[in-house]
C-alpha cells in the first residue's frame, strides 16, 4: 500500500525557504480546496520523483526496488489523465555556470551520507537510490508524458510556464510559496491523486491550492512583492542566513516559527522591496552591507519572471536558454540535454569540471563504491573535456584535464581531482570531438564503449540486444569490484535480470513468445517463491557494497552510452534491478544452491540464464572465482582517519590493477 512521505523526505530534493512550509501548513486558512480536472498542470519533476519514490514505499536500503517506483509513477500519470489533466514535467538540470548552490549541495551531500550511514547500522531513514532519477525519466517516456530537462535549476522556468498557461504548479518546494503564480501552487503533500473522485460534471483529484493573498493579509499589509526579500533574509538555497542574524534579534516573536512570523510582520510595514531592502541594510554592520545588498538583489532576481520560454519546447521541441547557448557545447548536445537524453553530470563536467557522486547505503569502512567505475568516468571525462569551455574548478600540475569529484571518503564528503583519460587512436583523433560525435559510425562508437568495459562485441552476440549493455557492465564489474565479488553475487544478479525478463514477457500483451504457458507457470512459481523466501529482513553489508558498485558501474556505463549516442540499446531499469530481490537471491544461494533452478518450468528463461552466465564467465580468467582475493597491504589496513584520502588512492590503485579491461585509462587521484 502506498504511504505519504514525510516532508523531510522531500526536503532532500528541494530545500527552498527554511521553515516556510511548516509555517504555511499549520494554518489551513492559507489554502483553498481545489477539484483538479480538465486543465494543464506544470509539475516540478525533481520534487515529484522524490515524492513518488518514498510514497511507493520502495526499498532504499538495498539499492532500490525500481519496478515498484516506476509502477507508482505510471499510476500517478494515469490518474491525471483520467481527470483530463495534461501534465507537463520540468526537471532540474546542472548546477549552472555560477555554481551558486555549491555550499548547499555540500550540506545536502553530507546529510545524505549521515542518513546512508544510519541505514547501514539499522536506523530508520530514507536515501534516494542511485538510479531513481533515470528510472523516472524512463517512466515519463513510457507514459508519453511531455517533459523537459532545463539547463540549470528549473524553478523560474516552471513558474514562467505556469503563468503563461494560467495553470497551477505542482511541487514540494517552498520556493513556490514565494513566486507570483496566476494559477496557484498545489503542494504534493495535499495532492490526493490516489483518491480520484467522480461527480456529474466529471472526475477530479482533490487538492489544495495556496492562497497567497490570504497569507499576506494575515500579516497586515504585507505585499507579495516583498516575499522574495523574506526568502533572501530567511536563507533560501543561495543565501547564507548568517548575514542577517542581527536583524532576527530585533524582529523575532515568541512561539513556533517566531523568527519567520516576526520577519513577515516587520516586512509588512514597507511599501515595496526597495524600501524594505534599505531598512534591512541599515540594521547591519558596515562590513556586512555589501554582501547583504548583493544577496537581496539576487533574491529579487531569483523570483522574478525568466526570459526563457518553455512553451516553445513543448510546442516544437526548441529549448532556448542563453546560458546553455553560451556554454560552447555543440547544438546536438544541447538538444539531447533538454530531452533528458544526457544526464546533468554531463553539463557539470563540461562547464564546471566538477561533479557530485551520490552516496549509497554501502560499507562506510571501505572506499566509495564509485571507485569501481572510475575508469569509465575517466573515459567519459576524456570525451567531454576535449573541446570543453574554460574550467571553473582549477587543478594545477596535471598534463591532462582534471575533474573535481565530490565523493565519500570514509564518513565525510571530500573532493579529489581525477585526470580525464587520454584516448588513443583510433579514438583520439578529431572524429571523436564533441561536435562530431553524432557523425561517427555507430560501430566505432560501440567499439569505444565496449573497449572501456573490456568486452568484445562477439561475446555479446547471443545476449538479447536490450540486455547487452547491462551484461557488458556486469563483466566489467565482476573484474573490477574491490573487494572482489564472489560467484553468489554474480548468480544472484543474473537471476534478478532474468526475473525482470520473465515479468516483461508475461505482463506485456503485445509480446509474442514461443511458450507463453511455460513462462506463465514459471512466473507464478517464482512469485510464490518470492512470497515464501523474501521475508528475511537481515541486511548483509558486504553484499550491499558489491551491488552498490554494480549500480555505480551501470550508471556510468549508461552515461557513456548516452554520450556516444546510444550504440547499444538502453535497458529498462525498472525491470533490471530490484534490491530486495537480489539481496534475497544472494542469501538463498549461500544456503540453497538449487535456487539457481528457480526458473526451471520455463526452458526459455532457463536458457537465457545460462547464456548470461556463460557470457560473463567467458570474459573472466578460467579460475577467476577459485582465486582467493588478495589481502590488502598492511600499509592500507593501518591508515588512520587523518590519512583517509591516501586510503582511497590505495583502493583506486587496486581497482586499476584488477581492471585491465580499460586499457587506456590512466588513474590518478590528487588531493
pLDDT cut 90: percent of the chain above it: 72
Identify the residue whose cell numbers are 553530470.
345
Q: How far apart are CA 28 and CA 57, in angstroms?
A: 27
User: Confidence class of residue 395 from pLDDT cuts 50, 70 and 90?
Assistant: very low
DSSP-assigned letter for residue 359: P
Q: How far apart are CA 260 and CA 278, in angstroms?
A: 19
Average pLDDT over residues 71-84: 98
Pick from 638, 573, 635: nearest CA to 130:
573
Query: Which residue is it, cell 525519466?
Result: 137
Where does the pLDDT of residue 659 fall: very low under 50, low under 70, confident under 90, or very high at 90 and above?
Answer: low
Residue 636 pLDDT > 60: no
Among 26-35, 397-406, 520-529, 615-624, which is the least confidently predicted range? 397-406
Q: pLDDT tens, 590-605?
A: 989 999 999 999 999 9
Quick check: 165 and 183 in contact, CB under 8 A? yes
| CA 411 – CA 585 distance, rounded (Å) | 29
CB contact at 8 A, 385 and 401? yes
Q: Is the pLDDT of residue 42 over 80?
A: yes
pLDDT digits (tens, 9 = 90+) for 233-288: 888 776 666 667 768 778 888 888 898 999 999 999 999 999 999 998 988 878 88
Cα–Cα distance measured from residue 19 to residue 256, given in angstroms and rounded to the nearest whole number: 10
Q: What is the pLDDT of residues 193-233, one digit of tens each?
A: 999 999 999 999 999 999 999 999 999 889 999 999 999 88
> Degrees (nearest 5) of the Cα angle 527, 529, 530?
65
Predicted confidence at residue 10, as pLDDT, reads 38
| Type and span of the H or E element at 41 | strand 39-44
Strand-pairing partners, residue 407, are: 414
Q: What is the pLDDT of residues 458-482, one digit of tens each?
A: 999 999 999 999 999 999 999 999 9
pLDDT bucket at 627, cuts 50 / 70 / 90: low
pLDDT of residue 24: 94
Helix (H, G, I), strand (E, B) or coil at 333: helix
**Of 423, 452, 478, 655, nearest in space to 561 by CA:** 452
Place of cell 533574509: 233
Confidence at 669, pLDDT banded by 50, 70, 90 = very low
Q: Cα dist. 474→76, 467, 555, 604, 613 in Å?
A: 33, 11, 12, 21, 10
pLDDT at 332 over 70: yes
Supply the pLDDT for residue 343: 98
603-618 vs 468-480: helix crossing angle, rounded to 10: 50
pLDDT score recorded for residue 666: 37
Which grid cell is 139?
Answer: 517512466
Q: Please give the C-alpha separations between residue 254 and each of 18, 242, 268, 424, in angstroms, as whole numbers.
A: 18, 20, 18, 67
Which domains, from first to last, does the chain contain? 7-217 (3.40.50.1010), 224-302 (no CATH), 331-624+632-670 (no CATH)
pLDDT digits (tens, 9 = 90+) for 285-311: 788 888 889 989 999 999 998 988 999
Residue 511 has a pLDDT of 63
Check if the beta carbon of residue 93 is closer than 8 Å to that of residue 149: yes
pLDDT of residue 15: 55
Higher pLDDT, 171 or 627: 171
Give the model confidence (pLDDT) of 484-528 as tens digits: 999 999 999 999 999 999 999 888 766 655 557 888 899 999 999
Amino acid at each position: 500500500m502506498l504511504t505519504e512521505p514525510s516532508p523531510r523526505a522531500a526536503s532532500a530534493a528541494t530545500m527552498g525557504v527554511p521553515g516556510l512550509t511548516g509555517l504555511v501548513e499549520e494554518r489551513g486558512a492559507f489554502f483553498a480546496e481545489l477539484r483538479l480536472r480538465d486543465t494543464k498542470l506544470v509539475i516540478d519533476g525533481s520534487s515529484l520523483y522524490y515524492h513518488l519514490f518514498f510514497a511507493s514505499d520502495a526499498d532504499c536500503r538495498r539499492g532500490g526496488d525500481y519496478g515498484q517506483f516506476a509502477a507508482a509513477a505510471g499510476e500517478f500519470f494515469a490518474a491525471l489523465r483520467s481527470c483530463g489533466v495534461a501534465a507537463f514535467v520540468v526537471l532540474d538540470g546542472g548546477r549552472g555556470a555560477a555554481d551558486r548552490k555549491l555550499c548547499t549541495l555540500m550540506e545536502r551531500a553530507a546529510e545524505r551520507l549521515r542518513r546512508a550511514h544510519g541505514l547501514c547500522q539499522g536506523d530508520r531513514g530514507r536515501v534516494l537510490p542511485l538510479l531513481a532519477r533515470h528510472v523516472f525519466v524512463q517512466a515519463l517516456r513510457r507514459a508519453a508524458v511531455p517533459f523537459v530537462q532545463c539547463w540549470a535549476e528549473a524553478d523560474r522556468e516552471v513558474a514562467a510556464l505556469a503563468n503563461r498557461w494560467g495553470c497551477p504548479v505542482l511541487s514540494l518546494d517552498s520556493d513556490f510559496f514565494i513566486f507570483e503564480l496566476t494559477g496557484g501552487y498545489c503542494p504534493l503533500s495535499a495532492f490526493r491523486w490516489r483518491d480520484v473522485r467522480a461527480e456529474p460534471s466529471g472526475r477530479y483529484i482533490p487538492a489544495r491550492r495556496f492562497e497567497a493573498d490570504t497569507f499576506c493579509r494575515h500579516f497586515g499589509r504585507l505585499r507579495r512583492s516583498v516575499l522574495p526579500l523574506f526568502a533572501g533574509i530567511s536563507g533560501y538555497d543561495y543565501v547564507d542566513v548568517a548575514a542577517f542574524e542581527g536583524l532576527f534579534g530585533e524582529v523575532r516573536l515568541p512561539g513556533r516559527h517566531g523568527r519567520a512570523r516576526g520577519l513577515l510582520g516587520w516586512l509588512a510595514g514597507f511599501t515595496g522591496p526597495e524600501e524594505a531592502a534599505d531598512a534591512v541594510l541599515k540594521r547591519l554592520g558596515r562590513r556586512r552591507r555589501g554582501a547583504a545588498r548583493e544577496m537581496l538583489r539576487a533574491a529579487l532576481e531569483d523570483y522574478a519572471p525568466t526570459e526563457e520560454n518553455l512553451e516553445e519546447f513543448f510546442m516544437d521541441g526548441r529549448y532556448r536558454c542563453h546560458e546553455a547557448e553560451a556554454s560552447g557545447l555543440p547544438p546536438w548536445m544541447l538538444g539531447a540535454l533538454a530531452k533528458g537524453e544526457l544526464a546533468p553530470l554531463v553539463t557539470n563536467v563540461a562547464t564546471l569540471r566538477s561533479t557530485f557522486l551520490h552516496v549509497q547505503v554501502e560499507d562506510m569502512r571501505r572506499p566509495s563504491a564509485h571507485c569501481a567505475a572510475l575508469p569509465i568516468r575517466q573515459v567519459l571525462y576524456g570525451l567531454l573535456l576535449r573541446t570543453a569551455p574554460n574550467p571553473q574548478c582549477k587543478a594545477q600540475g596535471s598534463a591532462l584535464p582534471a575533474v573535481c569529484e565530490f565523493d565519500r571518503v570514509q564518513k565525510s564528503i571530500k573532493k579529489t581531482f581525477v585526470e580525464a583519460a587520454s584516448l588513443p587512436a583510433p579514438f583520439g583523433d578529431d572524429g571523436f570531438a564533441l561536435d562530431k560525435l553524432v557523425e561517427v559510425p555507430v560501430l566505432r562508437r560501440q567499439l569505444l564503449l565496449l573497449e572501456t568495459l573490456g568486452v568484445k562485441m562477439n561475446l555479446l552476440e547471443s545476449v538479447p540486444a536490450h540486455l547487452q549493455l547491462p551484461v557488458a557492465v556486469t563483466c566489467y564489474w565482476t573484474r573490477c569490484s574491490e573487494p572482489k565479488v564472489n560467484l553468489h553475487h554474480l548468480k544472484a544478479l543474473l537471476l534478478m535480470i532474468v526475473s525482470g525478463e520473465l515479468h516483461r514477457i508475461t505482463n506485456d500483451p503485445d509480446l509474442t513468445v514461443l511458450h507463453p504457458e511455460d513462462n506463465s507457470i514459471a512466473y507464478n512459481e517464482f512469485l510464490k517463491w518470492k512470497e515464501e523466501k523474501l521475508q528475511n529482513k537481515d541486511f548483509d553489508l558486504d553484499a550491499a557494497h558489491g551491488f552498490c558498485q554494480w549500480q555505480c558501474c551501470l550508471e556510468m556505463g549508461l552515461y557513456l552510452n548516452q554520450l556516444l549516442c546510444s550504440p547499444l540499446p538502453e535497458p529498462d531499469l525498472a525491470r533490471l534491478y530490484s534490491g530486495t530481490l537480489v539481496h534475497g537471491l544472494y542469501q538463498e544461494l549461500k544456503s540453497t544452491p538449487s535456487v539457481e533452478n528457480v526458473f526451471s518450468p520455463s526452458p526459455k528463461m532457463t536458457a537465457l540464464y545460462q547464456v548470461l552466465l556463460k557470457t560473463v564467465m567467458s570474459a573472466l580468467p578460467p579460475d577467476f572465482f577459485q582465486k582467493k582475493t588478495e589481502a590488502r597491504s598492511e600499509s592500507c589496513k593501518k591508515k588512520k582517519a587523518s590519512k583517509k584520502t591516501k586510503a582511497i588512492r590505495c583502493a583506486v590503485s587496486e581497482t586499476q590493477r584488477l581492471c585491465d579491461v580499460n586499457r587506456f585509462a590512466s588513474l590518478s587521484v590528487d588531493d
